[in-house]
Every structure is written in structure tokens, then in C-alpha cells.
Amino acid sequence: MSGSSPAARLQRLFEGRRLTPTQRRIAHSMVRRAADAPFLSSVELAELAGVSQPSVTRFAVALGFDGYPALRKHLREVSPVDAADAADAADADGLEDTLNEYQQAVRAEIENLRQLSELLADPAPVERAGRLLAASRPLLVLGLRAASSQARGFGYFAAKVHPDVRVVDEGGSMLHDRVDAARRAGASALMCFALPRHPREVVDALAYAREQGLTVVTVADSAFAPVAAHSDLLIPAAVGTGLAFDTACAPMLMGRVLLEAMCDGLPEAQARLEDFDARAAARGLFVE
């Protein structure tokens, strides 16, 4: 996201803080509603984050403020919202009241994608990630439980351009063995998709991977996710929470963006794609 956006300013306020899981949820909720955050009461913020009002107060104190009113005052001073932004927010709130729950879920995903677009205004982190992933031989791709489909999808496409991709989408006692095997084979990076609820196995695996010298690139639902402390480069892509099960359009798109950046770091990528297309056509693999 652009360095001057309300969301970016909030991110900087929270970066480097040792926050509890509940406090990370509050921080994540504030970033998602960055334009509204300076005007939310502690009760409203608690409802938005799904926590208790005292948790909001403790969160403000953890950030170094006397209480939530002092935090809100600070946000109003550093994140002014102009009249046009305020009018747009009011119009959006009015529209939300007329939508059914399915439409609201779609609108929430659209907002997640808008935030992702802001994030990509600075392409440097993605470009760095692409270089790291392209250089790793083999490339380990990790995603468990809710994130397993993201890992498999990334691995499927990555294997078309990268010479050695190893997807790990199941946990258990073999997880560290898979990390060890990849490291012995020459791996230098691990690509992780981490979505809520975050399995403890993923956090432990990332910590172990870094101990073994791997550079960890992570796509997670929030910069405050539990995996953040064990990631060398974390790129946040929010999930939708309006339905019974989370929706993950932004993390999936972020995975495709990283694939594009990785291709830029693989001079042979285009030749590999053309070779695959030729072989697929010869086998009649796809129906046109």
C-alpha cells in the first residue's frame, strides 16, 4: 500500500510490537477499516474485531497510550480523512445496509482486493520475493489446512516454469524431514501460505526452516499473523470473514502475482511454457 495511505500509517504504528493474538486481531481490523479507525469508539472497534471492550483498552496501552481515547486522538492527528473520503465512506455504509449477506461478502472481497492493489503500488517486496523463489533449487512450498489449496495451486503453476518445486500440504511428523531433505538438496527459500486459523505446525515449521538457513517468504492474511515473527518477507493479503468459511481471493491473487515475479527471475520460463504447450497439444491434453 502507498506509504501515505491511512492503512500504511496504521501498519507503521503496529510494526515491531509484540502483540497477543487478540491484539493482532484488533490491529488487523483497524487496518482493514483504516479510514474509519480514528472515529470508532472502543465498543465499535471491539464489535468489529470480535473481542471484548477491555481488550481494546489493553491494546491501546500495549501500544504505549494511556487508554483508547488517547490512541484515537493520535490516529485523528496522523491520519486525517478529507471530506471526499468521508463522503465516499458514508455512501458505502449506506449501500451496505441494502445488500444481503452474500452480496456483502462479495463487497468485502472487493475491498480486500482494493487494499492489495494499494500494497502493490510498491512492487519492491514482490520483486524481491520473486528473485528469492526463482533462485531456490528446489523450491519448497508450504500450506496446511485452510492454506493447502493455495500451496497446491501455486505449486501446480510454479512447476511449469521452475525446475524443482516441492509442495508440502500435509503436516505431521514428516514435516521437518521434508524441510531437511529440501535443504540438503540445495533449497535456499521456502514459500509459505498461512491462513486462519493458523496451525501451530506451520509456525513451528517456519521457525525450523529459518534455523536451517532457508529464507521464508510468506503470504498471510495479516501482517500481524502468528507466522510474521518467523518470516523474512511477509506479504499481507486479507481474507473475507463474512461467510461461515473464510474466503481467500486476495491470497490466491497474491500467489499469482508472485508467480509472475518469479517468472521474471527465470530466464528459461517462457521456453518452458512453450515446451509444455507443445507437448500438451501433441498429447491432446486439453479440449479446445
Q: For 4-19, write each residue's pLDDT tens digit.
A: 567 777 877 887 777 8
pLDDT of residue 140: 98
Q: What is the DSSP string of 21-56?
A: HHHHHHHHHHHHTTTTGGG--HHHHHHHHTS-HHHH
Cβ atoms of 255 and 237 closer than 8 Å: no
Q: What are phi and psi of 199, to 5 degrees?
A: -65, 140
pLDDT of residue 208: 97
165, β-bridge pairs: 139
| Percentage of the chain exceeding pLDDT 90 | 61
pLDDT-based confidence at residue 93 (cuts at 50, 70, 90): low
Q: Which amino acid is at 275?
A: D
Would residue 231 be called left, alpha or beta, if left means φ above 0 and alpha means ψ between -120 and 50 degrees? beta
The pLDDT mean for the chain works out to 89
pLDDT-based confidence at residue 233 (cuts at 50, 70, 90): very high
CA separation for the pair 222, 260 (Å, rounded): 22
Kindly tell me the burial class for residue 84, based on how many C-beta atoms sit within 10 Å of its own C-beta (0-12, 13-18, 19 or more). Answer: exposed
